C-alpha cells in the first residue's frame, strides 16, 4: 500500500488572533461551504518523511527563534481548491528569513513559488459569490503574530489534516 501521508510546517497564531481570524472565517464559511481546518500559514514542506531528529531540531528551533509578525495584504480568492478564499500575506524579509532557517533544519524546495496566505475557505465556489463576500467582510489590515510552528501530517487521500506536534516560538 502506498503511503499517502506528507508533512508540512505550519505557522500558528496566539489566542487573540485566532479568535478574530475565526470570526472572519465563520463569516466566510457561512456563505462558502468548506471542510474544517485549523487556521494557519504554511511555512515549509512538503516532507515525505520525518524522524525524531527533525522533531528535536524543531523543538530547539522554537526555543531559539522569536515569533514574527505577518503583514496582511487584504482578501483574495482563486479557483484553486486550497486557495479558494484567503487573507493574502506579504512575503516580508522576516517571513523569508524564518523559512530559510527552517530549510536549514530539513531541506524543502525553498525556491518553489511561495504565495503566503491564511486560508479562510477550501473548495470551488463561484467567483461572483466571492466578490460579493469581500464587500461584506471587515477591512483586514492587521498584523498577525506567528507564535508557534506545528508539524502537520496530511493524508491527501481523505483530505485530513492533523497537527502532529507544535512548538512555541520564543
Q: 6-38: per-residue pLDDT in tens?
A: 999 999 999 999 999 999 999 999 999 998 899
Using the Cα atoms of residue 132, residue 137, residue 138 and residue 142 in order, give the sign of their dihedral.
negative
Cα–Cα distance, 39 to 20 (Å, whole number): 11
Domains and CATH numbers, the chain: 5-168 (3.90.1140.10)
Give the bridge partners for 169, in sequence order: none
Cα–Cα distance, 46 to 123 (Å, whole number): 21
Instruction: Identify the H or E element spanning 162.
Output: strand 160-168
pTM value > 0.75? yes
Q: 94-148: per-residue pLDDT in tens?
A: 999 999 999 999 998 887 889 999 999 999 999 999 999 999 999 888 899 999 9
CB-CB contact of 119 with 84 (8 Å): yes
Cβ atoms within 10 Å of 83's Cβ, excluding its own? 16
User: Over 70: is that where the pLDDT of 158 sits?
Assistant: no
Amino acid at each position: 500500500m502506498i503511503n499517502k501521508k506528507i508533512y508540512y510546517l505550519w505557522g500558528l497564531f496566539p489566542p487573540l488572533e485566532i479568535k478574530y481570524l475565526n470570526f472572519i472565517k465563520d463569516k466566510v464559511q457561512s456563505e462558502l461551504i468548506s471542510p474544517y481546518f485549523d487556521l494557519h500559514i504554511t511555512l515549509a514542506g512538503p516532507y515525505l518523511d520525518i524522524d525524531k531528529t527533525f522533531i528535536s531540531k524543531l523543538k530547539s528551533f522554537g526555543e531559539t527563534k522569536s515569533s514574527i509578525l505577518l503583514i496582511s495584504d487584504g482578501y483574495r480568492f482563486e479557483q484553486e481548491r486550497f486557495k479558494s478564499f484567503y487573507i493574502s500575506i506579504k512575503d516580508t524579509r522576516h517571513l523569508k528569513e524564518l523559512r530559510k532557517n527552517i530549510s536549514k533544519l530539513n531541506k524543502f524546495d525553498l525556491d518553489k513559488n511561495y504565495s503566503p496566505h491564511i486560508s479562510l475557505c477550501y473548495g470551488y465556489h463561484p467567483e461572483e459569490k466571492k466578490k460579493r463576500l469581500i464587500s461584506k467582510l471587515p477591512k483586514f489590515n492587521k498584523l498577525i503574530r506567528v507564535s508557534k510552528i506545528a508539524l502537520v501530517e496530511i493524508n491527501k487521500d481523505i483530505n485530513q489534516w492533523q497537527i502532529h506536534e507544535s512548538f512555541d516560538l520564543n
